[in-house]
């Protein structure tokens, strides 16, 4: 079955630092790839997605590129803000029902 491995963290950065959270996956076929974010006290929100190889998903300065050759979908942001503090989940979907398989999540704390 599908599986996702992501950097577990926690990750602590200073404001304006560069962020990378690694994510690799195993899957049959051609899954779609996602990053979800969970802010403190809130529900899961889709941050960005990519549906085919070499696609780049982006949102609010966050980017991730679907790399089929390395089965990776690393999340990056050039300059983090305190408001980016949250838990980030890498996920893939596949099969006929598109259920999501999640990584364990990475807690990001950004200090002023």
Partner 1 sequence: GAGVSQSPSNKVTEKGKDVELRCDPISGHTALYWYRQSLGQGLEFLIYFQGNSAPDKSGLPSDRFSAERTGGSVSTLTIQRTQQEDSAVYLCASSHSSGTSAYNEQFFGPGTRLTVL
Residue 56 interacts with partner 1 (CB under 8 A): yes or no: no
Pairing of β 99-102 and β 75-77: unpaired
User: Exactly one of 12, 18, 39, 46 binds partner 1 (CB under 8 A); which one?
Assistant: 46
Q: Which is nearer to partner 1, 25 or 32 (CB)?
A: 32
Q: Give yes or no for residue 57 binding partner 1 (CB under 8 A).
A: no
Between CA 109 and CA 112 the distance in angstroms is: 10
Q: Using CB atoms within 10 A of its CB, is residue 55 exposed (0-12), middle (13-18) or buried (19+)?
A: middle
67 within 8 A of 81, measured Cβ to Cβ: no
Is 26 near partner 1 (CB under 8 A)?
no
* Under rule CB under 8 A, residue 68 binds partner 1: no
Considering only residues 19, 25, 27, 103, which one is a binding residue for partner 1 as defined by CB under 8 A? 103
Judged by CB under 8 A, does residue 74 bind partner 1? no
Alpha carbon 13 to its chain centroid, in Å, reads 17
- Chain residues binding partner 1 by CB under 8 A are 32, 42-46, 49, 51-52, 89, 91, 93, 96-105
């Amino acid at each position: 079955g599908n599986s996702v491995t992501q950097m577990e963290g926690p990750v602590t950065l200073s404001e304006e630092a560069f962020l990378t959270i690694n994510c690799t996956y195993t899957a049959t076929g051609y899954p779609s790839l996602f990053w979800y974010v969970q802010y403190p006290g809130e529900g899961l929100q889709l941050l960005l997605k990519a549906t085919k190889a070499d696609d780049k998903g982006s949102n609010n300065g966050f980017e991730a590129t679907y790399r089929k050759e390395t089965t990776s979908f690393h999340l990056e942001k050039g300059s983090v803000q305190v408001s980016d503090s949250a838990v980030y989940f890498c996920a893939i979907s596949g099969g006929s029902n598109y259920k999501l398989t999640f990584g364990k999540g990475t807690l990001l704390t950004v200090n002023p």
